[in-house]
Structure 1
Amino acid sequence: MVKRILWVILALIAVLVAILIFNAVTFKSKQLPIAALPAPAVPPTALEHLQEAIRFKTISFNDSTLLDTAQFLGFHRFLEKTYPAVHSNLVREKIKKYSLLYFWKGKNSSLKPIVLMAHQDVVPIEEASKSNWTVEPFSGDVKDGFIWGRGSADNKINVIGIFETIEKLLKESYQPERSLYFALGHDEERGGTGAVAIAAVLKQRGVSAEMVLDEGGIVTREKVPGMTKPVALIGTAEKGYLTLLLSVDKNGGHSSMPEQETALDILSKAVVNIRQHPFPANFAPATVGFMNHVGPEMPYPEKLVFANTWLFKSVVIGIYEKSPGGNAVVRTTAVPTIFNAGMKDNVVPTKATVTMNFRLLQGDGSEKVIAEIKRIIQDDRVSIVVSKEFSAEPSATSPEDGFGYKHVDETVKKTFAETVTTPFLMIGGTDSRHFGEISTNIIKFSPMTDPIGFHGIDERVSLESYQQTLWFYEQLIRQ
Structure 2
Amino acid sequence: MPSGFPTYDVMNPVGEDDRWEQFDEFHEFLEDRFERIYEELFVTKVNEYGLVMHWQGSDDSLPPILLAAHQDVVPVNVDTINEWEEEPFSGHYDGTWIWGRGSCDDKGPLIALMTVMEELLEAGFTPRRTIVLASGFDEEVGGKRGALQISQYLQSEYGQDSFAMVIDEGSGFLNMALEGDNTIIALPGTAEKGRTDIRVEISTPGGHSSFPPKHTSIGILSAAVVAVESAQHTPELLRDGTPFATYQCIAEHFPNVPDSLRRLVKEANEDDEALDELKRILLELYPVENSALLGTTQAVTLIGGGIKVNVLPESASAIVSHRIGQHSSVTEIREHLTGVLRPIAADFDLTFDAFGVEVSTGSSGHLSIGTAFNTALEPSPKTPTDSSSPYEIFSGTVKAVLEGSKVHPSKDVVVSPMLVLVNTDTRHYWSLTKHIFRYSHFDQADYYNGIHTVNEAVRAEAVIEHIRFLTTLILNWDEATI
| Coarse TM-score class (shorter-chain normalised) | 0.7 to 0.9
* CA distance in structure 2 between the aligned counterparts of 1:336 and 1:279, rounded to whole angstroms: 14
User: How do 1:380-395 residues align onto structure 2 when only pairs under 5 Å count?
Assistant: 380=352, 381-395=366-380
* AA at the equivalent of 1:289: A
User: How do 1:265-276 residues align onto structure 2 when only pairs under 5 Å count?
Assistant: 265-276=219-230
TM-score (norm 1): 0.84
* CA distance in structure 2 between the aligned counterparts of 1:144 and 1:448, rounded to whole angstroms: 18
Q: Secondary structure at the match of 2:8?
A: coil
| Residue 445, structure 1, aligned to residue 399, structure 2 | no
Shift in CA distance, 317/111, structure 1 to aligned 2, threshold 3 Å: farther
* AA at the equivalent of 1:352: A
* AA at the equivalent of 1:351: S
* AA at the equivalent of 2:6: K
| Residue 195, structure 1, aligned to residue 147, structure 2 | yes
Residue of 455, 464, 468 corresponding to 1:458 = 455
Determine what percentage of the aligned residue pairs are the same residue: 30
* CA RMSD, Structure 1 to Structure 2 (Å): 2.2
Q: Give the CA deviation at 1:122.
A: 0.4
TM-score (norm 2): 0.84
Q: Give the CA deviation at 1:217.
A: 1.1
| Residue 415, structure 1, aligned to residue 401, structure 2 | yes
The aligned residue for residue 54 of structure 1 is 3
User: How do 1:160-309 residues align onto structure 2 when only pairs under 5 Å count?
Assistant: 160-193=111-144, 194-207=146-159, 208-221=162-175, 229-283=183-237, 285-298=241-254, 299-301=257-259, 302-309=261-268
- 1:15-52: CA deviations, max 9, x gaps? xxxxxxxxxxxxxxxxxxxxxxxxxxxxxxxxxxx2xx
* CA distance in structure 1 between the aligned counterparts of 2:249 and 2:142, rounded to whole angstroms: 31
The aligned residue for residue 302 of structure 2 is 338
Q: Give the CA deviation at 1:364.
A: 1.6
Shift in CA distance, 146/55, structure 1 to aligned 2, threshold 3 Å: same
| Residue 431, structure 1, aligned to residue 417, structure 2 | no
Mean Cα displacement is larger for which, 144-153 or 464-473? Answer: 144-153
Q: Give the CA deviation at 1:57.
A: 0.7
Shift in CA distance, 239/109, structure 1 to aligned 2, threshold 3 Å: same
* CA distance in structure 1 between the aligned counterparts of 2:136 and 2:190, rounded to whole angstroms: 20
* AA at the equivalent of 2:454: I
The aligned residue for residue 362 of structure 2 is none
User: How do 1:88-127 residues align onto structure 2 when only pairs under 5 Å count?
Assistant: 88-127=39-78
Q: Secondary structure at the match of 1:348?
A: coil
* AA at the equivalent of 1:416: L
Q: Mark the runs of 5 or more structure 1 residues left unpaired by the alignment.
A: 1-49
Aligned 8 A contact 1:221 1:231 in 2: yes
Q: Mark the runs of 5 or more structure 2 residues left unpaired by the alignment.
A: 346-351, 353-365, 404-410, 477-482
Mean Cα displacement is larger for which, 365-374 or 395-404? Answer: 395-404
Aligned residues: 428
| Residue 138, structure 1, aligned to residue 89, structure 2 | yes
Residue of 110, 122, 133 corresponding to 1:159 = 110
| Residue 149, structure 1, aligned to residue 117, structure 2 | no
* CA distance in structure 1 between the aligned counterparts of 2:384 and 2:203, rounded to whole angstroms: 48
The aligned residue for residue 392 of structure 2 is 406
| Residue 68, structure 1, aligned to residue 19, structure 2 | yes
* AA at the equivalent of 1:436: W
Aligned 8 A contact 1:210 1:403 in 2: no
The aligned residue for residue 324 of structure 2 is 360
- 1:400-455: CA deviations, max 9, x gaps? 02633222211111222323211000001100111111101111101111133211
* AA at the equivalent of 1:258: P
The aligned residue for residue 349 of structure 2 is none
Aligned 8 A contact 1:317 1:330 in 2: no
Shift in CA distance, 154/313, structure 1 to aligned 2, threshold 3 Å: farther
* CA distance in structure 1 between the aligned counterparts of 2:192 and 2:202, rounded to whole angstroms: 32
Q: Give the CA deviation at 1:186.
A: 0.6
* AA at the equivalent of 1:319: L
* AA at the equivalent of 1:441: H
* CA distance in structure 2 between the aligned counterparts of 1:144 and 1:253, rounded to whole angstroms: 63
The aligned residue for residue 128 of structure 1 is 79
* CA distance in structure 2 between the aligned counterparts of 1:462 and 1:158, rounded to whole angstroms: 12
Q: Give the CA deviation at 1:227.
A: 6.4
